[in-house]
C-alpha cells in the first residue's frame, strides 16, 4: 500500500502551519474538514483552482501537519489533525476557524 509522509506532532512548526493556513483555499479546506464528520476524498472539494493546483494545496496542508492523507483504493482521504495541532499549538485552530467564520459572516 502506498503511504504518504506526515510530520509527527513534535515536527510540526508554527511558521509552517501559519503559512499553510494563510492561503484562503487551504484555509477553506481545513475549515470544511473541521465542520465535517469523517474523512473526505480530495475530489469532494469544489475548489476554485485547477486539479494540479488543488493537489499542491493538499500536499502543503499535509506537509505542514494540518491534515492526514491516506489512500483508500484510488482515492486519497483527508482528515484534519485537530488533536495533534491542539496539543502542539493550543487554541490556534480554534482562533483561525473563528476568524474565518467572522470573515465569511458566519459568526
Domains of the chain, first to last: 9-100 (1.10.10.10)
pLDDT at 16 over 80: yes
Closest CA to 97 of 49, 54, 106: 106
Residue 79, C-alpha cell as written in the block: 482528515
The Cα angle at residue 80 between residues 16 and 60, in degrees rounded to 5: 35
pLDDT at 42 over 90: no
Across 53-73, average pLDDT: 95
Q: Sorting pLDDT into bands at 50, 70 and 90, what band is 40? A: confident
* pTM (two decimals): 0.92
Q: What is the pLDDT of residue 106?
A: 67
pLDDT at 107 over 60: no
The answer to whether 33 and 24 are in contact (CB under 8 A) is no
Amino acid at each position: 500500500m502506498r503511504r504518504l509522509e506526515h510530520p509527527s506532532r513534535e515536527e510540526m512548526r508554527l511558521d509552517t502551519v501559519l503559512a499553510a493556513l494563510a492561503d484562503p483555499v487551504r484555509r477553506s479546506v481545513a475549515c470544511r474538514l473541521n465542520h465535517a464528520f469523517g474523512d473526505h476524498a480530495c475530489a469532494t472539494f469544489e475548489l476554485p483552482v485547477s486539479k494540479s493546483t488543488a493537489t499542491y494545496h493538499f500536499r502543503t496542508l499535509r506537509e505542514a501537519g494540518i491534515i492526514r492523507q491516506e489512500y483508500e483504493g484510488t482515492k486519497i482521504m483527508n482528515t484534519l489533525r485537530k488533536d495533534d495541532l491542539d496539543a502542539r499549538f493550543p487554541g490556534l485552530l480554534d482562533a483561525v476557524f473563528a476568524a474565518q467564520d467572522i470573515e465569511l459572516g458566519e459568526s
